């Protein structure tokens, strides 16, 4: 099958580019004390996670959702960290069931949640690995996500003590998602400074927990925006990067040298007047950023997406040498790979212009 034989809209991986991305990040971590923990929420596809793990430099994967973890475990991946709080009886029961046959860990930031995890884990006769989640948002000194997590310092230490003294749970360490703040600093040096400012609090809290006589095996942080910063910071044991494998417009930061390997293939279905064309992919096939940021057109200078409707992309062409014509095929870089991948059943995997595989996106839609 040739790329021309794929009907549109369709999700396409440039396999050479993805393999180069995987190899380059694996190479960075291979000889470091800090390892990669591949965030599989972006590709939602076990075969890609397996490729990352085989490339070396990695210790397990993470997922954002329990249902993603269930899919990855069923595909033979052991050592999964759900980098999120899992709350409510039904989910904790599923987590406990999973923990009976898979090394699964979860983040906590609340004593009530710790008690619920403990009670249900004991009912199931299992033990669940737990990391205390720290909110590092206010410590990078630039705007940040401000999501889940307790403050670093004594609040985190008392949660760690609670986990240690609670049956059915195993305290594994700390997690801090300073990645959120990294995104807002466009220059590498500025980002590095912000990330260091935040990580200092994570590492210091780890020392405080150790001073309380508790073993801290994992200090988990980082993301695609800073894998080469957090990955070199003393005391961080693993970096949670995921988008780098496929890449998108959003993660294309200064100093992050990976290629965009993911595109949405689309066809021009109308050229209503000069300088305007309509493509057959809209919000059902490609997403935009939270501030309305648009996907980008691959390889055609002067063509931009002006607007996305549910079924259509509005393309504006300025000073292009060859006008877009009916039936032309274009490739678009998603603004964020995560939610665009979530819209498709499969990837078309391309090498040298040929379709070499179709990979089912088995964790697609796993939002529970």
Ligand X SMILES: Cc1ncc(COP(=O)(O)O)c(C=O)c1O
The footprint of ligand X (CB under 6 A) covers: 39, 42, 64, 83, 177, 179, 223-225, 240-243, 251
Q: Which single residue is written with the structure tokens 């700390």?
A: 174
In the complex, least distance from residue 51 CB atom to ligand X, rounded to whole angstroms: 16
In the complex, least distance from residue 270 CB atom to ligand X, rounded to whole angstroms: 34
CA angle 11–12–16, rounded 5-degree value? 155
- Comparison of 182 and 286: residue with beta carbon closer to ligand X: 182
- Comparison of 258 and 278: residue with beta carbon closer to ligand X: 258
Q: What is the maximum span of the chain, computed from C-alpha positions, in angstroms?
A: 72
In the complex, least distance from residue 84 CB atom to ligand X, rounded to whole angstroms: 7
Residue 278 vs residues 85, 115, 174, 323, 333: alpha-carbon distances, Å: 42, 55, 48, 13, 16
In the complex, least distance from residue 338 CB atom to ligand X, rounded to whole angstroms: 7
Alpha-carbon span 129 to 153, nearest angstrom:
21
In the complex, least distance from residue 28 CB atom to ligand X, rounded to whole angstroms: 14
- Comparison of 168 and 206: residue with beta carbon closer to ligand X: 206
Select the residue whose beta carbon is closest to ligand X and give its number: 223
Burial class (CB in 10 A: 0-12, 13-18, 19+), 319: exposed
SS3 35: strand
Asked whether the beta carbons of 99 and 127 are under 8 A apart, the reply is: yes
- Comparison of 83 and 126: residue with beta carbon closer to ligand X: 83
Of 66, 169, 68, nearest in space to 116 by CA: 169
- Comparison of 95 and 277: residue with beta carbon closer to ligand X: 95
């Amino acid at each position: 099958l040739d790329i021309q034989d794929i009907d549109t809209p369709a999700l396409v991986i440039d396999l050479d580019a993805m393999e180069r991305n995987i190899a380059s990040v694996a190479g960075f971590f291979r000889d470091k004390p800090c390892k990669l923990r591949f965030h599989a929420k972006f590709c939602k596809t076990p075969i890609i996670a397996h490729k990352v793990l085989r490339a070396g430099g990695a210790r397990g994967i993470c997922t954002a959702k329990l249902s993603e973890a269930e899919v990855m475990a069923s595909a033979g991946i052991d050592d999964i960290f759900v980098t999120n709080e899992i709350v409510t009886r039904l989910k904790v029961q599923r987590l406990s069931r999973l923990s009976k046959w898979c090394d699964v860990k979860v983040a906590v930031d609340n004593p009530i949640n710790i008690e619920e995890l403990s009670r249900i884990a004991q009912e199931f006769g299992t033990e669940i690995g737990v990391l205390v989640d720290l909110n590092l948002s206010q410590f990078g000194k630039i705007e940040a996500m401000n999501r889940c997590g307790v403050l670093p310092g004594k609040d985190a230490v008392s949660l760690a003590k609670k986990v240690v003294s609670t049956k059915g749970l195993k305290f594994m360490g700390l997690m801090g998602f300073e990645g959120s703040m990294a995104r807002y600093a466009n220059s590498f040096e500025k980002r590095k400074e912000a990330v260091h400012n935040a990580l200092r609090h994570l590492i210091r809290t780890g020392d405080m927990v150790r001073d309380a006589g508790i073993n801290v095996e994992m200090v988990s942080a980082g993301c695609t925006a800073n894998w080469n910063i957090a990955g070199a910071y003393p005391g961080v044991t693993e970096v949670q990067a995921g988008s780098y494998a496929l890449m998108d417009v959003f993660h294309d930061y200064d100093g992050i040298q990976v290629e965009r390997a993911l595109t949405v293939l689309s066809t021009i279905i109308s050229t209503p007047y000069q300088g305007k064309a309509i493509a057959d992919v809209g919000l059902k096939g490609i997403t935009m950023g939270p501030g309305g940021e648009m996907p980008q057109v691959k390889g055609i200078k002067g063509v931009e997406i002006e607007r996305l409707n549910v079924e259509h992309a509005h393309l504006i062409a300025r000073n292009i040498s060859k006008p877009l014509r009916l039936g032309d095929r274009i490739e678009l870089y998603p603004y964020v790979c995560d939610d665009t991948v979530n819209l498709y059943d499969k990837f078309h995997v391309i090498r040298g212009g040929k379709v070499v595989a179709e990979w089912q996106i088995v964790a697609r839609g796993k939002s529970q």
